Amino acid sequence: MSLIEKPQSSPEREAYYQKIDKQNYSALWNVLSGIVTPTPKSDCIPHLWEFAPARELLMEAGGLITAKEAERRVLILQNPGLRGQSRITTSLYAGLQLVLPGEVAPAHRHSQSALRFVMDGGGACTAVNGERTLMEVGDFVITPPQAWHDHGNDSDTPMIWMDGLDIPMLSFFDASFAEGLGEDMQEITKPTGDSLARYGANMLPVDFERKGLASPIFNYPYARTREALETMRRRDEWDPCHGLKMRYVNPVDGGWAMPTISPFVQLLPKGFKTAPYRSTDATVFSVIEGSGTTTIGNTTFHWKPKDIFVVPSWYPVVHEPGEDAVLFSYSDRVAQQKLGIWREARGDH
Ligand code: GTQ
Domains identified in the chain, total number: 1
- Sorted by sequence, the CB contacts under 8 Å of residue 228 that are 6+ apart come out as 246
pTM of the model: 0.97
Give pLDDT, residue 3.
67
Atom number, ligand 1, closest to the C-alpha of residue 151: 1
Give yes or no for a contact between 79 and 47, defined as CB atoms under 8 angstroms apart.
yes
Query: Given ligand 1 and candidates 97, 181, 218, which is best to mutate, with the most ligand atoms within 8 Å of its CB?
Result: 97
Residue 38 within any structural domain of the chain? no
Q: Which residue puts its alpha carbon closest to atom 11 of ligand 1? A: 72
Q: Which residue puts its alpha carbon closest to atom 8 of ligand 1? A: 72
CA 17 to ligand 1 centroid distance, Å? 44
Give pLDDT, residue 255.
97
Atom number, ligand 1, closest to the C-alpha of residue 149: 2
Residue 86 within any structural domain of the chain? yes
How many other C-beta atoms are found inside a 10 Å radius of the C-beta of residue 25? 10
Residue 40 within any structural domain of the chain? no
Residue 348 has pLDDT above 90, yes or no: no
Atom number, ligand 1, closest to the C-alpha of residue 116: 1
Residues with CB under 6 A from ligand 1: 72, 74, 95, 97, 110, 114, 149, 163, 165
The DSSP code for 6 is P
Residue 6 has pLDDT above 90, yes or no: no
Give pLDDT, residue 237.
86
Residue 71 within any structural domain of the chain? yes
Question: Rounded mean pLDDT of 21-30?
Answer: 97
Question: Rounded mean pLDDT of 236-258?
Answer: 96
Give pLDDT, residue 1.
58
Strand partners, 191: none
Share of the chain above pLDDT 90, in %: 97
Average pLDDT of the residues of the chain: 97
Question: Rounded mean pLDDT of 291-320?
Answer: 98
Per residue in 116-159, pLDDT tens? Answer: 999 999 999 999 999 999 999 999 999 999 999 999 999 999 99
**CA-to-CA dists, residue 31 to 2, 7, 21, 82, 103, angstroms:** 13, 10, 14, 21, 51
What CATH number is associated with residue 53? 2.60.120.10
Distance separating the N- and C-terminal Cα atoms of the chain: 16
CA 302 to ligand 1 centroid distance, Å? 28
Q: Tell me which residue range forms the domain holding 151.
A: 47-346
Share of the chain above pLDDT 70, in %: 99
CA 337 to ligand 1 centroid distance, Å? 25
Per residue in 72-85, pLDDT tens? Answer: 999 999 999 999 99
